[in-house]
Amino acid sequence: MKKLPFFLSLMAIGLFSTSPSNAAPLEVGADAPAVKTVDQKGNKVDLGKELSEGISLVYFYPKADTPGCTKQACNLRDAFEDVEKAGIKVFGVSADTAEDQLAFAGKFELPFTLLADKGGEVIAAFGVPANERGLAARQSFLIKDGKVIWRDLKANPTSQAQDAIAAAKAS
């Protein structure tokens, strides 16, 4: 009988593991990854080029059109005028398809780019933990002229815009 709790513990660790890889999230000061993917409209995006100039927020979320992810996206949408005034370009990233991202952007009138990272290349390049289904952890990175200047490894969906603006002003 003593083996059962140990076995259950092992199962829980396996089932709830948040990262199948050992990659660590990018550190402040790291170069932004030169990775390519597609946006919600299926257009190719060279993220390395996009992040090489100015300030950009790259935020990762588990799945489009789910409660927490919708709160996060809508927080950015509702504060988008302030985000733009701070000079921040926004890229939302999840392992959803371009079609799912397009539906999400349309449903909630999101005024920024969503990246479809079905293969997980962008998620891996930033070192964002993902579960066995490829769902990314909720993390955010602020990039200025190709360098990470801030990261939030437990991004708050209800204050994502405000946190990014404060970090941009502090840089």
Out of 45, 51, 69, 76, pick the active-site residue. Answer: 69
Active site residue 74: no
User: Taking a C-beta distance cutoff of 8 angstroms, is the pair 22, 107 a contact?
Assistant: no
Encoded tokens for 128:
């964002």
Angstrom distances, CA of residue 33 to CA of 30, 113, 122, 147: 9, 17, 8, 9
**Which run of H or of E encompasses 91?**
strand 88-94
Sign of the CA dihedral with 13 first, then 121, 94, and 142 last: positive
User: Taking a C-beta distance cutoff of 8 angstroms, is the pair 40, 111 a contact?
Assistant: no
Encoded tokens for 117:
């990272």
SS3 163: helix
SS3 90: strand
Which residues does the annotation mark as catalytic? Answer: 69
